[in-house]
Amino acid sequence: MKGKVKIRRKEMPVTALNKGEEGIIVKVGGSELERRKLFALGLLPGEVIILEEGYPVILLRSGYTLAALDEEMAKNIFVRSLGVHQ
């Protein structure tokens, strides 16, 4: 791990991460049904994710799962950045 990009400690939606940046999920919002979907994909607080792509959909890798979410869905996931992972 190298911390080239300045590590931001602020809480932010996962959509604000840079491509390749790692983050730890701190909060999952949205409707009950949407949260359940995200939980089912393994996206819940405490989990570490990497933003693989930001366009046309948000592509998150967590463990060995790759989840594609649209922006509406992804902006409910709040993370704290852990910097760029290599």
Partner 1 sequence: MGKGKRVVLVGRPNVGKSVIFNQLTSSYGMVSNYPGTTVEVRKGTGEGSGGSYQVLDSPGIYNLLPFSKEEEVTLNILLEGNIHLVVQVVEGKNIEKTLPFTFQLMETGFPLVLVVNMLDEGERLGIRIDLGELEKKLKIPVVGTVSTRGRGINKLKETIDKELGKKLTKWKIPFALGDYPPAVKEPLQKMVSHMEGYYKFNKRALALMFLQGEARAEEILKKGEGRNYRTLVKIREKESRDFSLLINSWRLGKAREILQGAVHFSREKTISRRDLLSRITLHPLGGLPLLFLVLYIGLYKFVGIFGAGTLVDYLDGQIFELWVIPHLVGAIEHLPLPGLKYLFLSPYGIITLGFRYGLAIVLPIVCTFFLFLSVVEDSGYLPRLAMLLDRFFKKFGLNGRSVIPLVLGLGCGTMAVLSTRTLEGERERFIAVFLLALGVPCSAQLGIIMAMLAMSPAALVIWGAALLVVLSVCGYLMDKFLPGKPSKFYMEIPPLRIPNPGSVLKKTLARVKWYMKEVIPLFLLISVFMVLGSLTGLLTFLTEISAPFLQAMGLPRHLASVFMIGFFRRDYGAAGLYTLLREGELTINQLLVASLTLSLFLPCIAQFVMIIREQGYLKGFIILILVMISAFLAGCLLNLFLTGLSWGGGL
Chain positions contacting partner 1, by CB under 8 A:
28, 32-42, 44-47, 52-53, 55-57, 59, 63-70, 72-73
Please say which residue, 6 or 63, places its beta carbon nearer to partner 1.
63
Q: Are strands 11-13 and 21-28 parallel, antiparallel or unpaired?
A: unpaired
Please say which residue, 7 or 66, places its beta carbon nearer to partner 1.
66
Q: How far is the CB of 6 from partner 1 (least distance, A)?
A: 26
Please say which residue, 8 or 15, places its beta carbon nearer to partner 1.
15
Instruction: Kindly state the tokens that stand for 64.
Output: 């060995």
Q: How far is the CB of 50 from partner 1 (least distance, A)?
A: 13
Q: What is the largest CA-CA distance in the chain?
A: 37
